[in-house]
Structure 1
Amino acid sequence: MHFAFPDVLTEIVAIVVIAAVFAFTAARLRQPVILAFIAAGVVVGPSGLGWVRSADEIHLLAEIGLAMLLSVVGLKLDLNLMRSVGSTVVIIGVIQVGLTALIGFGISRLLGVGSGSALYIALAVAFSSTVIAVKLLSDKKDLDSLYGRIALGILIVQDVLVVFALTILPAFGGGELLYTALAFSLVVVKGAALMAGVGLLGLLVLPRVIEKLSKSGELLLLFAISWALAVATLAGMLGLSREVGAFLAGVALATTQHRDIVGAKLVGLRDFLLLFFFLDLGARLNLGALGAGAAMTVPLSIFVLIGKPLIILAVMSMLGYRKRTGFLTGFTLSQTSEFSLILASVGVKSGHIGQQTLGLITLTTAVTIGFSALMVSNLQPMYDRLRTLLRRADTGKGYREQAEDIATPSDVEIIVIGLGRYGKIIALELIDRGRAVLGVDFDTLAVSECNRLGIPAVFGDAEDPEYLSYLPLSSAKWVVCSIRDTGLTRVLTAGLRQHGYHGVLALTADDDEMAAELQRSGADMVFVPFEDSAVKAVDLIHATEREINRKMMDQQIAAVTDHYIVCGYGRMGQQIVKDFQRDNVPVVVVEANPEQLPKLERSGVLHVVGEASEDAVLLSAGIERAKGLIAVCPTDEDNVFIVLTARVLNPGLFIVARSILEENQDKLRRAGADRVVSPYILGGRHMAAAVTKPEIMEFVDLVLQANHFDVGIAHAVVSEDSPQAGHTLAEAGLCQERCATVIAVRRAGELRTNPDSDYLIQAGDEMVILGTHAQLDATRVVLGGRQQE
Structure 2
Amino acid sequence: MPHETPLISTIVAGFVLAFILGAIANRFRLPPLVGYLVAGVLVGPHTPGYVADQQLAPELAEIGVILLMFGVGLHFSLKDLLSVRGVALPGAIAQMAVATAMGWALAWLMGWSHGGGLVFGLALSVASTVVLLKALQERRLVESERGKIAVGWLIVEDLAMVLALVLIPAAAGIASGQGGDATHGDPVALLISRALNVDLGLTGVIGVTLLKVALFVALMLVVGRRLIPALLHRIAHTGSRELFRLGVLAIALGVAFGAAKLFGVSLALGAFFAGMILSESELSHRAAQESLPLRDAFAVLFFVSVGMLFDPTIIVRDPWPVVGTLFIIVIGKSVAAFLIVLAFRRSVGTALTISASLAQIGEFSFILAELGVGLNLIPEEGRDLILAGAILSIILNPIVFFAADRIRPRLEARILRQSQTASPPAEAPSAETAASEPSAAAPASARPAPEEEKEPALPDIETEGETEPTTLSGHAVVVGYGRVGAIVVDQLKSANTPFLVIEDSEKRIAELREKGVEVIVGNAAHPAVLALANLKGATRLAVAIPDAFEGGQVTEQARAQNPGLLIIGRAHSDAEVDHLAKLGADVVIMGEREIARGMLERIGEPMTKARGDAPGPREHVAGAYPGAPEAVGEPSPLTQSAMADPTVEPSSQAPDGASSPTNPDASPAKTA
- TM (normalized to structure 1)? 0.58
Which residue pairs with 1:71 in the alignment? 70
Indicate which of 525, 531, 537 corresponds to 1:491: 531
Which residue pairs with 2:16 in the alignment? 17
* Contact kept? 2:348, 2:411, Cα under 8 Å: no
Indicate which of 333, 340, 352 corresponds to 1:327: 352
Q: CA separation in 2, counterparts of 1:234 and 1:9?
A: 24
Q: CA separation in 1, counterparts of 2:225 and 2:75?
A: 16
Q: CA separation in 1, counterparts of 2:89 and 2:315?
A: 36
Specify which structure has the higher proportion of strand.
Answer: 1
* Contact kept? 1:71, 1:228, Cα under 8 Å: yes
* Contact kept? 1:490, 1:521, Cα under 8 Å: no
Q: 1:287 to 1:536 in 2, by over 3 A?
A: closer
Indicate which of 226, 231, 235 corresponds to 2:250: 226
Which residue pairs with 1:527 in the alignment? 568
CA deviation map 1:592-640 (0-9, x unaligned): xxxxxx9xx9xxxxxxxxxxxxxxxxxxxxxxxxxxxxxxxxxxxxxxx
Q: CA separation in 2, counterparts of 1:116 and 1:514?
A: 51
CA deviation map 1:697-736 (0-9, x unaligned): xxxxxxxxxxxxxxxxxxxxxxxxxxxxxxxxxxxxxxxx
Q: 1:285 to 1:202 in 2, by over 3 A?
A: same
Q: CA separation in 2, counterparts of 1:234 and 1:371?
A: 35
* Contact kept? 1:31, 1:374, Cα under 8 Å: no
> Where do residues 151-170 of structure 1 align in structure 2 (5 Å cutoff)?
151-170=150-169
Shift of 1:127: 0.9
What is the SS of the residue equivalent to 1:205?
A: helix
* Contact kept? 1:402, 1:458, Cα under 8 Å: no
Q: CA separation in 1, counterparts of 2:130 and 2:325?
A: 21
Shift of 1:191: 1.5
* Contact kept? 2:462, 2:521, Cα under 8 Å: no
Indicate which of 446, 460, 467 corresponds to 1:401: 460
Indicate which of 373, 386, 389 corresponds to 1:364: 389
What is the SS of the residue equivalent to 1:174?
A: helix
Q: 1:421 to 1:144 in 2, by over 3 A?
A: farther
Shift of 1:433: 5.5
Structure 1, unaligned stretches of length 5 or more?
Answer: 464-482, 549-597, 602-789
Q: 1:295 to 1:440 in 2, by over 3 A?
A: same
* Contact kept? 2:477, 2:502, Cα under 8 Å: yes
Q: 1:496 to 1:222 in 2, by over 3 A?
A: closer
Q: CA separation in 2, counterparts of 1:267 and 1:320?
A: 35
Shift of 1:50: 5.5
Which residue pairs with 2:667 in the alignment? none
> Where do residues 139-178 of structure 1 align in structure 2 (5 Å cutoff)?
139-175=138-174, 176=179
Q: 1:14 to 1:159 in 2, by over 3 A?
A: closer
RMSD between aligned residues: 3.7
Shift of 1:392: 3.5
Q: CA separation in 2, counterparts of 1:404 and 1:54?
A: 47
Residue identity opposite 1:186 in structure 2: V
What is the SS of the residue equivalent to 2:280?
A: coil
Which residue pairs with 1:200 in the alignment? 222
Which residue pairs with 1:62 in the alignment? 61
Counterpart check, 1:426 vs 2:488: yes
Shift of 1:385: 5.0
Residue identity opposite 1:213 in structure 2: I
Q: 1:92 to 1:10 in 2, by over 3 A?
A: closer
Shift of 1:340: 0.9
Shift of 1:123: 0.9
Shift of 1:300: 1.5
Which residue pairs with 1:707 in the alignment? none
Which residue pairs with 1:8 in the alignment? 6
When Rg is computed on C-alpha atoms for both structures, the one with the higher figure is: 1
Q: 1:36 to 1:189 in 2, by over 3 A?
A: same
Q: CA separation in 2, counterparts of 1:414 and 1:6?
A: 61
Q: CA separation in 1, counterparts of 2:329 and 2:37?
A: 18
Which residue pairs with 1:455 in the alignment? 515
Shift of 1:314: 1.6
Residue identity opposite 1:492 in structure 2: L
Q: CA separation in 2, counterparts of 1:257 and 1:542?
A: 32
Q: CA separation in 2, counterparts of 1:125 and 1:371?
A: 15
Q: CA separation in 2, counterparts of 1:233 and 1:538?
A: 46
Shift of 1:128: 0.7
Which residue pairs with 2:659 in the alignment? none
* Contact kept? 1:417, 1:439, Cα under 8 Å: yes
Structure 2, unaligned stretches of length 5 or more?
Answer: 183-199, 420-448, 453-458, 466-471, 572-587, 607-626, 631-672
Which residue pairs with 1:346 in the alignment? 371
Q: CA separation in 1, counterparts of 2:311 and 2:408?
A: 37
Q: 1:441 to 1:356 in 2, by over 3 A?
A: same
Which residue pairs with 2:118 in the alignment? 119
Q: CA separation in 1, counterparts of 2:542 and 2:491?
A: 17
Shift of 1:269: 1.2
Residue identity opposite 1:102 in structure 2: A
Which residue pairs with 1:248 in the alignment? 273
Shift of 1:339: 0.5
Q: 1:489 to 1:547 in 2, by over 3 A?
A: farther
* Contact kept? 2:163, 2:206, Cα under 8 Å: yes
* Contact kept? 1:64, 1:273, Cα under 8 Å: yes
* Contact kept? 1:447, 1:458, Cα under 8 Å: no
* Contact kept? 2:66, 2:256, Cα under 8 Å: yes
Indicate which of 441, 446, 455 corresponds to 2:508: 446
Q: 1:446 to 1:138 in 2, by over 3 A?
A: same
Q: 1:101 to 1:140 in 2, by over 3 A?
A: same
Q: CA separation in 2, counterparts of 1:128 and 1:404?
A: 25
Indicate which of 528, 532, 543 corresponds to 1:508: 543
Q: 1:60 to 1:88 in 2, by over 3 A?
A: same
Specify which structure has the higher proportion of helix.
Answer: 2
Residue identity opposite 2:248 in structure 1: A
Shift of 1:35: 1.5
Shift of 1:103: 2.6
What is the SS of the residue equivalent to 2:50?
A: coil
Q: 1:65 to 1:344 in 2, by over 3 A?
A: same
Q: 1:304 to 1:160 in 2, by over 3 A?
A: same
* Contact kept? 2:18, 2:39, Cα under 8 Å: yes
Q: CA separation in 2, counterparts of 1:386 and 1:211?
A: 45
What is the SS of the residue equivalent to 1:55?
A: coil
Which residue pairs with 1:307 in the alignment? 332
Shift of 1:257: 2.3
* Contact kept? 1:310, 1:327, Cα under 8 Å: no
Q: CA separation in 1, counterparts of 2:288 and 2:553?
A: 29
* Contact kept? 1:75, 1:259, Cα under 8 Å: yes
CA deviation map 1:171-203 (0-9, x unaligned): 224335752222222222221221222233443
Shift of 1:169: 1.6
Residue identity opposite 1:101 in structure 2: T
Which residue pairs with 1:41 in the alignment? 40
* Contact kept? 1:210, 1:256, Cα under 8 Å: no
CA deviation map 1:282-320 (0-9, x unaligned): 212235579844531112112211222222222222222
Q: CA separation in 1, counterparts of 2:559 and 2:412?
A: 33
Residue identity opposite 1:152 in structure 2: V
Which residue pairs with 2:101 in the alignment? 102
Q: 1:423 to 1:117 in 2, by over 3 A?
A: same
Q: CA separation in 2, counterparts of 1:362 and 1:403?
A: 34
CA deviation map 1:317-356 (0-9, x unaligned): 2222222221122112210131011112222232322222
Which residue pairs with 2:406 in the alignment? 384
Quick check: 224-233 or 199-208, which moved more? Answer: 199-208
Shift of 1:386: 6.4
Shift of 1:130: 0.9
Residue identity opposite 2:204 in structure 1: L
What is the SS of the residue equivalent to 2:214?
A: helix
Q: 1:536 to 1:434 in 2, by over 3 A?
A: farther
Quick check: 437-446 or 162-171, which moved more? Answer: 437-446
